[in-house]
Amino acid sequence: MNKNIYIKIFSAVIFVLFSFSINAEENVSEHQYNFYTGNFDFSDNKQKAILFGFQHQNENLERNTFLGNASPITGGFITENSAAYVYTGVEWNYAIGNKIKFTPSFAPGIYHEGDGKDLGHALEFKTEMQLSYTLSDSTNLGMSYNHISNASLGDKNPGANSYMFNLLKNF
């Protein structure tokens, strides 16, 4: 599949999600879904690729900790080169005023290189920072940056730096 197909599919998903009344004051579920797209390994001109991903967060499982409000996350992404990463971890949510949220996260996961970049090991660790803006009680738009690394578990550890645009929706 070429990257234009991926862009059309992702655009259709975003259009459908936004068609669910962004400003509705309905009961919002505790399940947050993060649909994102961006550039995998943007700092490596030979290996950079478009990525599409999905992440789930269950707000029923949030806990206040000494580091702030933490909740589990599970997700994954695929690149245009058929590389894939599936992860589960934890994120912390910090409000910056009424409309902005800062969300760092850490998630170990399993990486499959496909026709993409060899990261050196199947077990990789993702650290991420996200800033999001609240559009309504159920919709946020954000931007995030992450780094994936195997912490020198493999023979090599090139890592990958990525940035993404996020649509966060509560259902």
Per-residue pLDDT of the chain (171 residues), as tens digits, is 455 665 666 666 555 555 444 444 444 458 899 999 999 999 998 899 999 999 999 878 888 888 788 999 999 999 999 999 999 999 999 999 999 999 999 999 999 999 999 999 999 999 999 999 999 989 999 999 999 999 999 999 999 999 999 999 998
**What is the length of the chain?**
171
Find out whether 115 and 81 touch, Cβ atoms under 8 Å. yes
pLDDT of residue 171: 82
pLDDT of residue 79: 96
Burial class (CB in 10 A: 0-12, 13-18, 19+), 42: middle
pLDDT of residue 13: 57
Please state the pTM of the whole predicted model. 0.82
Q: What is the CATH number of the domain that holds 76?
A: 2.40.160.20
Taking the C-alpha atoms of residue 122 and residue 120, their distance in angstroms, rounded to an integer, is 7
Say how many domains are in the chain. Answer: 1
pLDDT of residue 5: 62
Nearest to 89 by CA among 53, 61, 126, 129: 126
Q: Which domain holds residue 46?
A: 3-170
Residue 60, Ramachandran bin (φ over 0: left; ψ between -120 and 50: alpha; else beta): alpha
Which amino acid type is present at position 159? G
